[in-house]
Chain A
Amino acid sequence: MESGPLSHQLGFDGFIWFIGVVEGLDDPLKVGRSKVRIFGWHDKDTDSLSTDDLPWAYALVPVTHAAQLPTYRIGDWVVGFFLDSRLGQQPIITGVLPAIQQA
């Protein structure tokens, strides 16, 4: 990963994918954002990094439901990318991983 200054152009600074788990859905702006703990980026210990301290992640909604809210639930694993590349503060969720749910 490059360490030089960022250009702030999507893709110019690399395109970083992530997988994370949804922990919160109560977006005060009501635009469908969620708190996602991203594997490899955020501490899995919720005491050292609480859900509230996680960055808000936007959901990329399908063009056929442009005003729809995401329907994934807390606990779902999601896939996405960072708008701000290696800064990792602006996650965008593009999809949900189907899973066999376990206790």
Chain B
Amino acid sequence: MGCNGFKDNRTAAELQLAPAKPLLRNTAVVGNLHFGAAPGAISSGVSLSSATHASVRDALAAKSSLSTLSSSMTDSLQQFDAQSSSLLSGRSFNADTSVFGLASTATVQAGGFFSASDLTQMSGMKAGALVAGSIAAVTLLARRKKKLVNLTARVGVALSAFSIAGALVKENYNRTPYPLEEDLDLPNCSRLAQGDEAAQADPILIDKRKFTRTGIGVAVGKPSTWTRHVTSRTDLLKGFTALPGFSSALNMVFKDRKNQQTWSEPATPYAAEYPSNKATQTESGHAVEFDDTPGAERIHVFHRSGSCVEMHPDGKVVTKLMGGGYIVAEADLHVSVKGVCHISVDGDANIYTKGKLDLQGDEGINIHTKKDFNVFAKNINLRAKAKSTLDGTIIDLRYVTLPGIPVVTTSGIAPTLNMAAMKKDFPEIHGQVCKAVLEHKVEMARLKAGVIAKNATIETKAALQGAAIGPTQAAAAVAEGAAMIAQNVDTMAMILKLQSGIFPTGTAPKFEFPALTAEQEPVENPLGNPLAYIATTSAAATYRTLFFDTPQEMGDVELYQAHQQTQLLLGDIESVEPKLGGAKTTPVTGIVAPASLPIVNYLDRDTYRGNFSSDPEQTLGGTSFTYGELVDSLSRADVANPHITEPVTI
């Protein structure tokens, strides 16, 4: 059966102008690649992942399609005036461009007016009698031209603003007349209102589930064992999303904990049952739902791009912005969160205030980055009420770099100074320091001069004594000279060592560092060392036991069990201990599903159609009722839906 005589007679041009649901919705995973001023220009140096590549491909395809449409619209517009002249001169015009109620064979009567018979409704029915001259061809053509101009402008704007960031909507430019094929044999109310299979097959519900984002990372403030692992210098496991060859439980934890903590967008709680969901879906793919289904009450506003606001049965509100979003407050804006607030940004984030920016964390503030942490200010004031700690492999204080070459002063050890930087910023102090250095050099020179003088004395003494005195005295003088030489050698050595920062034995200052507390001690992350999973020695087993049973691991059942299973796989332990309490239950049912359901032959309209003929005046079995007064089975209300082409069993 057809559609009760209904036929959608819209022309190709009309269909192209009409709204239609998108063929495909998607989200772009690339946030920084925009077409901008140079459409399609993507740097060849950009390395794209497979997901990104797919997005770019879809975007380019959509852009190409849009471009084709734009070109087609522009051509159509350019030919419009010529076609209008042709039409107004009385000639028939191209059927493909016939729009707005003009039959393709319409001709213009004298005076530029259409006759009533030239007007055709969209349904294919002739319009009723019209007052001659009530619709001027010029008016109709002007309307049509305006529509074409508007559409061309819209497409042009869409093309110029095209970006592969955010929502990607693949339009259906090959639109088909109503009823759409996918809507055949279905009620004309919204699929979302119908519930059940009809709703589950609705693109809105499918796409909402597809676009539900999970595993969104949460800032942890400070490095954890997991983040230390993925940011380790060795970088051995950084590229892995799973540890190859190990238990799924561990890999699950590994994947989840790479970001330490995650949150996910709640899935749509759609569970509508007919007739509780008051839903409206429009031609281009928008939807509004007021769902009163008990236990699944929702309000949902959905845009064809996928952007939506959904209020859940428990009062949660999920707002999704497929094409980005803006909040513009012309006055104060207040945000209050009673629970935890997570803000996760895949790209860069900026907070800019023209006034003062205050950050306050009553329980502490942690800032964590895997790369540089830079602070630029006119003055930086750091005040600690108790302890202030600055740690680093190298600490560069502009004038002093630690560890540098230590030198001994009268008050202890001092690092060498960056004299050039100091001279530039503090020439006065630089002069004082230079003076001190000069004095130091003078002292060194004095020491050296003393040594040289002593050496000269020794030589003189030896020469004189060797010439003028007896052998015994000469030997004593030589011995005294030798002792002085040795003394000089020691002095020289001390000078050299001091110059190079080495302290003579026994003179090095001793520093008493306090012992580190347990919290301060660096915790080695077992997962950061893949060898921990490979070695089979008893030492390795002990190592694993030690690290897998830390308080942190023991406090996390999921993590603990994953590690226990890993140890089990590696043969470190024979069973997972401690086991969880309780007994595992197995559901038992006595109900056995039948192999096949009984076949019931219900009577339907085809059973009756054409099988009965009677005189409408004939009375029914001794009553005053006639056949004519009986309900006509062919027009029963429950089988009269124009969209139902097959017999319906009630």
Contact = CB atoms under 8 A, between A and B. Distances in A.
A67 B280 contact: yes
A57 B189 CA distance: 16
A20 interface: no
Interface residues of A, number: 28
B188 A87 contact: no
Interface stretch (B65-73, B326-334, B630-638): B630-638
A58 B385 CA distance: 78
Contacts of A55: 637
Nearest to A55: B637
B641 interface: yes
Contacts of B632: 8, 84
B187 A5 contact: no
Contacts of A25: 275
Given A55-B637, A56-B637, A68-B280, A6 B187 contact: no
A71 interface: yes
Given A56-B638, A65-B280, A29 B631 contact: no
Contacts of B281: 67
B278 A27 contact: no
A30 B194 contact: yes
A30 B189 contact: yes
Interface string A68-80: 1101000000000
Given A58-B637, A67-B190, A68-B189, A84 B631 contact: yes
Contact of B275 (A32, A66, A90): A32
A84 B641 CA distance: 16
Q: Which 3 A-B pairs have the closest CB atoms?
A: A5-B628, A31-B187, A89-B631
B616 interface: yes
B187 A33 contact: no
Nearest to A31: B187
Contacts of B644: 29
B648 interface: yes
Nearest to A5: B628
Given A5-B626, A32-B189, A66-B188, A71 B278 contact: yes
Contacts of A84: 631-632, 635
Contacts of A31: 187-189, 641
A30 to B, nearest CB: 5
Contacts of B194: 30
Interface residues of B, number: 30
Interface in B180-195: 187-190, 193-195
B63 to A, nearest CB: 33
A26 interface: yes
A66 B281 CA distance: 10
B512 interface: no
A21 B626 CA distance: 29
Contacts of A69: 189, 193, 275, 278-279
B274 interface: yes
A90 B193 contact: no
Interface string B187-224: 11110011100100000000000000000000000000
A83 to B, nearest CB: 8
Contacts of B275: 25-27, 30, 32, 69
A83 B632 CA distance: 12
Given A29-B644, A33-B638, 14 more contacts: A5-B626, A6-B629, A27-B274, A30-B189, A30-B195, A30-B198, A32-B187, A32-B275, A67-B190, A71-B278, A83-B637, A87-B630, A89-B636, A90-B636
B38 interface: no
A1 to B, nearest CB: 12
A67 B188 contact: yes
B637 A90 contact: yes
A65 B288 CA distance: 12
Nearest to B281: A67
A32 B274 CA distance: 9
Given A8-B635, A29-B648, A69-B189, A87 B274 contact: no
A32 to B, nearest CB: 6
A90 B635 contact: yes
A18 B616 CA distance: 26
A8 to B, nearest CB: 7
Interface in B593-650: 616-617, 626, 628-632, 635-638, 641, 644, 648, 650
Q: Which of B616, B628, B637, B650 has the most CB atoms of chain A within a 10 A radius of its CB?
A: B637
B189 A29 contact: no
A28 B274 CA distance: 9
A5 B630 CA distance: 10
Contacts of A29: 187, 638, 641, 644, 648
